[in-house]
């Protein structure tokens, strides 16, 4: 079909249009590479903040898994793992090439009288296979959403027009052919550079509630680092079928060259996730309503330490270690109050262990109140949960996807409010980790994380211990908190140590330090140890920005597990429903040459609810030894801000 016939066809669709919302979560979807867009080309559309998704794409020669998140409604970030079929992996020519990368898209303006605009960079600081930049505009009219953009790098396969930035500065004329050092560094000289650039365009058209038609001029560079077959056309088109607002399947004809498939899972938690189902204690009537309130809260994992009454107000001091987000706590509390026929205004002071997390009433309220309940004696409580989880290991040199299906048990035993034992036991029901046999290339200055494959193979030896530790918490003076920890902290290290934190609840900063003596565990993940031990510790500074662009920042300086010294910068955003997105970068006294490919340690992390369970995942382009920290279940700052969201 030539361009003229395409134009007539699109005109017909235009006159059949209905009505949609331009940034609709329902009718926009991620493209093959995890950006909200058309097929391969991006758009200027965004989802609301805290949305996220997973895209699985099978093309020729690309096979790609992309995880995408929206920390803000003007920012979209994604990272990908890819398998490039037919391209040999250097040194392991029998394997297809594996790659990982990170993409970013920023909103410049929303749609109004004029189109929405966005700017983006793909494969930032990567190996260059997908490195490209773009500026794109989108305009929705009824059932049609039009997109028009300019592409650089991997999106510049047509060289249609002269690069406009060349008129601003001649340095934009030449795009560097390779990457500095070992790759993994930001290269501003590369961005938006090319003698000529390409124009891409396309549309999405809604065919009822379940079907979406997509069409685009695809300007993917087919003669670059990835050896695509010669294109039979400049255009790609296809259909996406929506099984629900969260799941969809796409089938596309790409450049008249091959047929591709895309599976998509997306979620906007604030709108769609259902977290926790309230359980009534079914207390016999008639009964004291405050006793009934305590029983209802206890039935849902929330302990009541004290209840104060002042006129028509109740002050509740609550403690819990079970629920991970404030929206669930508020939901349980609302249901328990209604279920108990409480008519007074309820004020809440939340505690986690014995640390104050949220305070809605102060000492003056307590002094003027009658205490109608005061918990007596020691509280011993066991919380345990067993679940089936998937443990992926993606883009290894041995294969694109290795994984395990694990039965895991997480248990917490409270000897008292500030003394807690926590454990994690797991057994592999099925895995293919025995295939992971290729050793790491770089282990400088000491091997602390790059032997991860040896630990994964240990999952085959029966029940393994992921964690078995004791934590003791104490507020030694107002705003001064300490935590002592000992035991098996994680799969690779056990030991002992402590953390101190200065934290004032109504200030947006805190600081402290941590110091630990640790011993490297053996690969059977039991109680044995390898011949490596070290001291590790950091000075920590925390900052919370409440205005304009809300975010959390953490800067730490100290000694890492491998013995290198330096600093880590971490930026994150969390939400009321427990969703968290963040990024980090670590710079130590290990040089770029010593570090090897990747140049320095960096990555992103997220904590998101999928099927009512929270998935906590940290991604880094490569698992190297420099810049590695001890993984601990709890730290003081995270506990104290756990229910203080800054949205």
3-state secondary structure 289-321: HHHHHHHHHHHCCCEEEEEEEECCEEEEEEECC
Burial 521-560 (b: 16+ CB within 10 A, else e): bebbbeeeeeeeebebbbebebebeeeeebbbebbbebbb
What is the three-class DSSP state of 457? helix
Number of domains in the chain: 3
Residue labelled with tokens 């898209």 = 105
Q: Do 603 and 629 fall within a single domain? A: yes
Per-residue pLDDT band at 58 (split at 50, 70, 90): very high
* Structure-token pair, residue 235: 């255009």
CB within 8 Å of 529: residues ≥ 6 apart? 494, 519, 520, 521, 522
- The rounded distance, in Å, linking the Cα atoms of 532 and 349 is 44
Least trusted range by pLDDT, from 81-95, 272-286, 577-591, 633-647: 272-286
Q: How high is the pLDDT of residue 179?
A: 62
Name which of 546, 543, 550 is nearest 71 in CA terms: 550
472, part of any domain: yes
Q: Do 407 and 492 fall within a single domain? A: yes
118, part of any domain: yes
Q: Do 369 and 388 fall within a single domain? A: no
**The domain boundary residue, chosen from 351, 374, 397:** 374
Give the percent of the chain with pLDDT over 90: 59
**The domain boundary residue, chosen from 321, 347, 374:** 374
Which tens digits make up the pLDDT trace of 525-543?
Answer: 999 999 999 999 999 999 9
Which tens digits make up the pLDDT trace of 432-484?
Answer: 999 999 998 878 899 999 999 999 999 988 999 999 999 999 989 888 999 99
Please provide the average confidence, as pLDDT, over all residues in the chain. 88
Per-residue pLDDT band at 274 (split at 50, 70, 90): low
* DSSP 8-state code for residue 605: E
- 11-25, 475-489, 571-585: which is most confident: 475-489
Q: Is a pLDDT exceeding 70 seen at residue 321?
A: no
φ, ψ at 102 (rounded to 5°): -135, 135
282, part of any domain: no
Residue labelled with tokens 């087919």 = 222
Q: Is a pLDDT exceeding 90 seen at residue 324?
A: no
Q: Do 572 and 526 fall within a single domain? A: yes
In this predicted model, which residue has the larger pLDDT, 208 or 248?
248
Give the CA dihedral 270, 273, 275, 280, nearest 10 degrees: 100
Q: Do 200 and 180 fall within a single domain? A: yes
Q: Do 343 and 258 fall within a single domain? A: no
Radius of gyration of the chain (CA): 27
Q: Do 315 and 388 fall within a single domain? A: no
284, part of any domain: no
* Structure-token pair, residue 114: 């004029």
What value does the mean pLDDT take over residues 499-508?
91
Q: Is a pLDDT exceeding 80 seen at residue 287?
A: no
Distances (CA, A) of 623 to 348, 423, 441, 474: 44, 25, 11, 35
Q: Tell me how crowded residue 154 is: count the other CB atoms within 10 A of its CB.
A: 24
Q: How high is the pLDDT of residue 424?
A: 96
Least trusted range by pLDDT, from 28-42, 201-215, 249-263, 592-606: 592-606
Least trusted range by pLDDT, from 229-233, 517-521, 532-536: 229-233
Number of separate helices (H) and strands (E) present in the chain: 8, 31
Q: Is a pLDDT exceeding 60 seen at residue 647?
A: no
Which tens digits make up the pLDDT trace of 111-123?
Answer: 999 999 999 999 9
φ, ψ at 326 (rounded to 5°): -70, -30
CATH number, domain containing residue 332: 3.30.300
388, part of any domain: yes
CATH number, domain containing residue 101: 2.40.160.40
Q: Quick check: 470 and 487 in contact, CB under 8 A?
A: yes
Q: What is the largest CA-CA distance in the chain?
A: 84
Q: Do 26 and 89 fall within a single domain? A: yes
What value does the mean pLDDT take over residues 554-560?
98
Which tens digits make up the pLDDT trace of 361-383?
Answer: 988 999 999 999 988 765 567 88
Q: Is a pLDDT exceeding 60 seen at residue 18?
A: no
What value does the mean pLDDT take over residues 306-330?
85
What value does the mean pLDDT take over residues 632-642?
88
581, part of any domain: yes
CB within 8 Å of 267: residues ≥ 6 apart? 51, 52, 53, 246, 273, 608, 609, 610
Q: Is 169 exposed, middle or buried (0-12, 13-18, 19+ CB in 10 A)?
A: exposed
Q: Quick check: 135 and 121 in contact, CB under 8 A?
A: no
Q: Tell me how crowded residue 416 is: count the other CB atoms within 10 A of its CB.
A: 13
Q: Do 472 and 352 fall within a single domain? A: no
**The domain boundary residue, chosen from 208, 239, 272:** 272
* Structure-token pair, residue 556: 């730490």
What is the three-class DSSP state of 337? helix
Name which of 143, 197, 203, 158 is nearest 175 in CA terms: 197
Q: Is a pLDDT exceeding 80 seen at residue 63?
A: yes
Q: How high is the pLDDT of residue 220?
A: 95
Q: Do 430 and 307 fall within a single domain? A: no
Q: Which helix (H) or strand (E) holds 6?
A: helix 3-15
Domain of 489 in residue numbering reads as 381-640
Q: Do 75 and 187 fall within a single domain? A: yes
CB within 8 Å of 320: residues ≥ 6 apart? 301, 302, 303, 329, 350, 352
- Give CA 534 to chain center in angstroms: 30
What value does the mean pLDDT take over residues 583-602?
87
What value does the mean pLDDT take over residues 43-63?
94
Q: Do 441 and 575 fall within a single domain? A: yes
Q: Quick check: 266 and 100 in contact, CB under 8 A?
A: no
Q: Is 315 exposed, middle or buried (0-12, 13-18, 19+ CB in 10 A)?
A: buried
In this predicted model, which residue has the larger pLDDT, 622 or 156?
156
- The rounded distance, in Å, linking the Cα atoms of 487 and 496 is 6
Per-residue pLDDT band at 645 (split at 50, 70, 90): low
φ, ψ at 458 (rounded to 5°): -65, -15
* Structure-token pair, residue 117: 């605009």
105, part of any domain: yes
Which tens digits make up the pLDDT trace of 409-426?
Answer: 999 898 887 899 999 999
In which order are the strands placed within the sheet that holds 345-352?
Answer: 355-359, 345-352, 313-319, 303-310, 370-374
362, part of any domain: yes
* Structure-token pair, residue 271: 């709108």
* Structure-token pair, residue 306: 């004290």
């Amino acid at each position: 079909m030539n361009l003229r016939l395409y134009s007539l066809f699109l005109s017909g669709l235009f006159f059949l249009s209905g009505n949609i919302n331009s940034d609709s979560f329902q009718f926009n979807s991620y493209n093959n590479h995890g950006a909200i867009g058309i097929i391969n080309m991006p758009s200027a559309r965004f989802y609301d903040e805290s949305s996220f998704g997973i895209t699985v794409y099978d093309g020729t020669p690309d096979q790609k898994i992309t995880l995408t998140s929206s920390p803000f409604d003007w920012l979209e970030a994604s990272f990908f793992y890819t398998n490039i079929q037919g391209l040999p992996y250097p040194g392991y020519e029998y394997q297809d090439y594996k790659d990982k990368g990170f993409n970013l898209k920023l909103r410049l303006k929303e749609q109004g009288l004029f189109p929405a605009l966005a700017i983006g960079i793909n494969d930032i600081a990567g190996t260059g296979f997908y490195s490209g930049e773009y500026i794109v505009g989108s305009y929705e009219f009824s059932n049609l959403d039009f997109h028009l953009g300019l592409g650089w790098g991997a999106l510049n396969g047509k060289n249609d027009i002269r690069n406009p930035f060349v008129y601003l500065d001649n340095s934009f004329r030449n795009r560097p052919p390779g990457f500095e050092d070992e790759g993994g560094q930001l290269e501003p000289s590369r961005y938006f550079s090319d003698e000529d650039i390409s124009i891409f365009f396309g549309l999405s058209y809604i065919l009822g509630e379940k079907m979406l038609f997509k069409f685009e001029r695809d300007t993917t560079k087919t003669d670059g680092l990835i050896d695509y077959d010669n294109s039979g056309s400049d255009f790609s088109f296809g259909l996406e079928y929506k099984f629900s607002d969260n799941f969809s399947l796409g089938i596309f004809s790409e450049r008249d060259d091959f047929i591709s498939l895309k599976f998509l899972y997306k979620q906007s938690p604030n709108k769609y996730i259902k977290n926790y189902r309230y359980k009534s204690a079914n207390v016999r009537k008639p009964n004291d309503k405050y006793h009934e309130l305590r029983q209802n809260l206890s039935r849902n994992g929330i302990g009541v330490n004290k209840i104060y009454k002042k006129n028509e107000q109740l002050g509740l001091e609550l403690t819990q270690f079970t629920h991970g987000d404030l929206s669930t706590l508020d939901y349980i509390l609302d249901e328990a109050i209604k279920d108990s026929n409480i008519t007074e205004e309820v004020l809440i002071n939340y505690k986690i262990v014995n640390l104050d997390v949220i305070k809605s009433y102060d000492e003056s309220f307590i002094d003027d109140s009658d205490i109608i309940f005061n918990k007596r004696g020691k509280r011993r409580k066991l919380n345990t949960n067993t679940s089936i989880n998937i443990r992926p290991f993606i883009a290894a040199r041995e294969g694109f996807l290795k994984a395990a299906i694990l039965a895991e048990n997480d248990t917490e035993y409270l000897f008292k409010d500030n003394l807690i034992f926590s454990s994690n036991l797991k057994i592999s029901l099925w895995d293919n980790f025995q295939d992971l046999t290729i050793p790491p290339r770089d282990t400088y200055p000491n091997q602390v994380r790059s032997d991860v494959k040896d630990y994964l193979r240990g999952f085959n030896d029966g029940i393994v211990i992921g964690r078995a530790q004791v934590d003791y918490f104490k507020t030694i003076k107002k705003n001064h908190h300490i935590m002592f920890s000992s035991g098996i902290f994680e799969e690779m290290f056990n030991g002992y140590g402590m953390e101190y934190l200065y934290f004032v609840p109504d200030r947006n900063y805190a600081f402290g330090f941590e110091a630990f003596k640790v011993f490297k565990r053996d690969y059977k993940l039991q109680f044995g140890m390898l011949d490596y031990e070290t001291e590790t510790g950091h000075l920590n500074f925390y900052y919370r920005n409440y205005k304009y662009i809300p975010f959390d920042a953490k800067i730490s300086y100290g000694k890492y597990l491998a013995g290198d010294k330096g600093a880590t910068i971490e930026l994150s955003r969390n939400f009321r429903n427990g969703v968290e997105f963040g990024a980090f970068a670590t710079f130590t006294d290990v040089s770029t040459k010593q570090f090897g490919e990747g140049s320095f340690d960096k990555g992103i992390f997220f904590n998101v609810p999928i099927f009512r369970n929270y998935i906590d995942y940290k991604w880094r382009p490569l698992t190297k030894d420099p810049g590695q920290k001890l993984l601990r279940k709890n730290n003081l700052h995270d506990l104290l801000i756990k229910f203080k969201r800054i949205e």
